[in-house]
Chains A and B, each alone.
Chain A
Amino acid sequence: MSSSVRPIPFGSPGRELFAVAHVPAPQVPLRGGVLICPPFFHEQFLSYRLISLVAARLAAQGWLCLRFDYFGSGDSAGDDDAFSLAGATADTRTALALLRGLVADAPLLLLGVRAGVWPALAATDADGVARVCLWQPLSDGAAWLDQLGAMDAHERASRQRYPHLRAPRAAVADRLLGSHVGAALRAELAAQRTVAPRIAFDVVGDGTLADGATPPHRFDLPPALAGWETDLTIRNVFPGRELDGLVGTLVAAWSAGKGA
């Protein structure tokens, strides 16, 4: 009983967005809808297959999953410099409305990955959102920018990446690891601190909350599914067998209302 994958262009003129729905097979009872907010910048392409595999497994168990790209990222319209956190949050609400139309009155769940937890948490006040899942959540935007800056410096000096350079490549203003991160976006990100939401939530993988709150339920990430965010290659492989167990445990917890 496999799910199907359906591309769905949506959004509005001038802000065209792109989503992919993982739809449960007709004979599988619909449990609810999950909106997946992807990570930002290079982490989006590094995690794309992982998130697709997660969505396929959730759909096989009755959760209709909607994945989408923020404006200025992925397949959505807009140049890279059009991406902003405020825009990503607005796009999340637009995508949530699309998902609501796909699942009617079934429960809605948000799943944010890494920096994707910020637009996901911002949308938890929408009608019908019952729970939010924080996947490898970032807790502090300023600390993350520092990490990206250090990674950028490392890559610019990397003899693996640039074996022929005599000196590290110069830093480029408004760019981190190939993505546009202008002053306004830096300010938005630096202000982010991830705190416990007022609705039920889970944490998958490492990651703490900035307010020190202990997640009601934490799911360990198998080593084979962790660490992708720092591996800047085009050969990331995510073993499906490891995901089967993790997604099965997640779905069981959601069904039992654990952490609510």
Chain B
Amino acid sequence: MREQVLELGDGLFGVLTLPAERRPGSAVVVLLNAGLVHRAGPFRLSVQLARTLAEAGQAVLRFDLPGVGDAPLRGADAPAVVARILDALQARFGETGFVVGGICSAADLGWKVALADRRVRGLLLLDGFAARGGWFRVGQLQLLLRRPPRSWPGMLRRRAFAAAEISDDDLRDWPSPAAARAQMHELLARDVRVLALYTGGAAYFLHRRQFAATFGVAEREAGITFDYWPECDHLFMYGEDRARLLGTVRDWCARS
């Protein structure tokens, strides 16, 4: 495994992690920024993921989108920037497919890129979007019942005040439920593989059946790998969670 700087133009650059020997036919993985964290990722997760995948024969690019990390704030149309970067990778690797995505906003951007660019054949959605709805309410109730009754008034009070707070729905640019379903079917029809993993840190995802309700596909639909890790936090802070994630993504990439 070795790492190289890849100049991407417009003041952008990335770190390319290359395997000693690339697995034949493997896609190039492009890890996008998690929120406003630079290309190394929260708690260095993107570095560890890139190196883990490279050890398994996969090339991985980490870079900063405009306004994040080392990147200047210009040309801020993120999907267009990613498309340009896929072009640069294609120039480097020749005809190849791509896996795009990451945590939180990286999953959201990966979704848009996958819809717009047919070179994408894998989508990594870690705490990607999900519609609230009936199963979310069931999850809320389950969460409430799991806590001691003395904590219920506080939880209900917080829920009442939460309506006025800024939530993920406000900060993240999500498709409507109808659009999300149509788009997922479009991606699956194109044979795009999807790894959708939700953690307990995603406050908008409280029940595993939300996935099917959001996207209109079964958890075990061909092309979909879905899991829900309620005991894990949004940033995979702890080593055992991170190790589990690295293994899950590595195995999924190997199958994709």
Distance in angstroms between the alpha carbons of A75 and B64 in the assembled complex: 12
Kindly list chain A residues whose C-beta atoms are within 8 Å of the C-beta of B15: 7, 18, 75
> A49-B36, A162-B233 are contacts. A7–B200 as well, Cβ < 8 Å?
no
Confirm or deny: A198 has a beta carbon within 8 angstroms of a beta carbon on chain B: no
Confirm or deny: A52 has a beta carbon within 8 angstroms of a beta carbon on chain B: yes
Report the count of interface residues on A (CB-CB < 8 A): 41
Kindly list chain B residues whose C-beta atoms are within 8 Å of the C-beta of A9: 3-5
The reply to whether B239 and A75 contact each other, CB–CB distance below 8 Å, is no
The reply to whether A155 and B237 contact each other, CB–CB distance below 8 Å, is yes
The reply to whether A45 and B70 contact each other, CB–CB distance below 8 Å, is no
Confirm or deny: B76 has a beta carbon within 8 angstroms of a beta carbon on chain A: no
The reply to whether A4 and B37 contact each other, CB–CB distance below 8 Å, is no
Stretch at the interface among B39-47, B79-87, B189-197: B39-47
Confirm or deny: B146 has a beta carbon within 8 angstroms of a beta carbon on chain A: yes
List B residues 21-51 near A (Cβ within 8 Å).
Answer: 34-44, 47
Distance in angstroms between the alpha carbons of A59 and B235 in the assembled complex: 33
Q: Which of A77, A178, A233 contacts B238 (CB 8 A)?
A: A178
Stretch at the interface among A29-37, A169-177, A187-195: A169-177
Q: Which of A48, A166, A178 contacts B43 (CB 8 A)?
A: A178
Q: Which of A5, A75, A237 contacts B36 (CB 8 A)?
A: A237
List A residues 152-194 near B (Cβ within 8 Å).
Answer: 155, 161-166, 169, 172, 175, 177-180
The reply to whether B239 and A4 contact each other, CB–CB distance below 8 Å, is no
The reply to whether A163 and B143 contact each other, CB–CB distance below 8 Å, is yes
Kindly list chain B residues whose C-beta atoms are within 8 Å of the C-beta of A234: 34-37, 42, 103-104, 235
Kindly list chain B residues whose C-beta atoms are within 8 Å of the C-beta of A178: 43, 235, 237-239, 242
- Smallest CB-CB separation from B37: which chain A residue? A234
By DSSP majority rule, is chain B's interface helix, strand, loop, or mixed? loop
Distance in angstroms between the alpha carbons of A5 and B12 in the assembled complex: 9
Q: Which of B43, B231, B234 contacts A45 (CB 8 A)?
A: B43
- Interface flags for B219-240 (1: CB within 8 Å of A; 0: not) read 0000000000011011101111
Whole-angstrom distance from the CB of B154 to the nearest CB of chain A? 10
Distance in angstroms between the alpha carbons of A177 and B146 in the assembled complex: 26
The reply to whether B42 and A164 contact each other, CB–CB distance below 8 Å, is no
Confirm or deny: A235 has a beta carbon within 8 angstroms of a beta carbon on chain B: yes
Confirm or deny: B56 has a beta carbon within 8 angstroms of a beta carbon on chain A: no
Whole-angstrom distance from the CB of A249 to the nearest CB of chain B? 23
Confirm or deny: A139 has a beta carbon within 8 angstroms of a beta carbon on chain B: no
- Smallest CB-CB separation from A234: which chain B residue? B35
The reply to whether B238 and A172 contact each other, CB–CB distance below 8 Å, is yes
The reply to whether A20 and B70 contact each other, CB–CB distance below 8 Å, is yes
Confirm or deny: B134 has a beta carbon within 8 angstroms of a beta carbon on chain A: no
Distance in angstroms between the alpha carbons of A254 and B4 in the assembled complex: 36
The reply to whether B37 and A45 contact each other, CB–CB distance below 8 Å, is yes
List A residues 67-83 near B (Cβ within 8 Å).
Answer: 69, 73-75, 77, 80
Distance in angstroms between the alpha carbons of A237 and B171 in the assembled complex: 13
The reply to whether A80 and B44 contact each other, CB–CB distance below 8 Å, is yes
Kindly list chain B residues whose C-beta atoms are within 8 Å of the C-beta of A235: 35-36, 171
Confirm or deny: B203 has a beta carbon within 8 angstroms of a beta carbon on chain A: yes
Kindly list chain A residues whose C-beta atoms are within 8 Å of the C-beta of B47: 74-75
The reply to whether B38 and A49 contact each other, CB–CB distance below 8 Å, is yes
- Interface flags for A15-34 (1: CB within 8 Å of B; 0: not) read 01010100000000000000
- Smallest CB-CB separation from A48: which chain B residue? B38
Q: Which of B34, B43, B200, B239 contacts A172 (CB 8 A)?
A: B239
Confirm or deny: A217 has a beta carbon within 8 angstroms of a beta carbon on chain B: no
Whole-angstrom distance from the CB of B197 to the nearest CB of chain A? 15
The reply to whether B44 and A49 contact each other, CB–CB distance below 8 Å, is no
Confirm or deny: B69 has a beta carbon within 8 angstroms of a beta carbon on chain A: yes
List B residues 205-229 near A (Cβ within 8 Å).
Answer: none
Kindly list chain A residues whose C-beta atoms are within 8 Å of the C-beta of B72: 2, 5, 56
Confirm or deny: A93 has a beta carbon within 8 angstroms of a beta carbon on chain B: no
CB-defined A-B contacts under 8 Å, sample of 8: A4-B11, A9-B5, A20-B70, A45-B43, A56-B72, A164-B200, A175-B238, A178-B237
**Contact residues of B with A, CB < 8 Å?**
3-5, 11, 13, 15, 34-44, 47, 68-70, 72, 103-104, 143, 146, 171, 200-201, 203, 230-231, 233-235, 237-240, 242
**Contact residues of A with B, CB < 8 Å?**
2, 4-5, 7, 9, 16, 18, 20, 42, 44-45, 48-49, 52, 56, 69, 73-75, 77, 80, 155, 161-166, 169, 172, 175, 177-180, 232-237
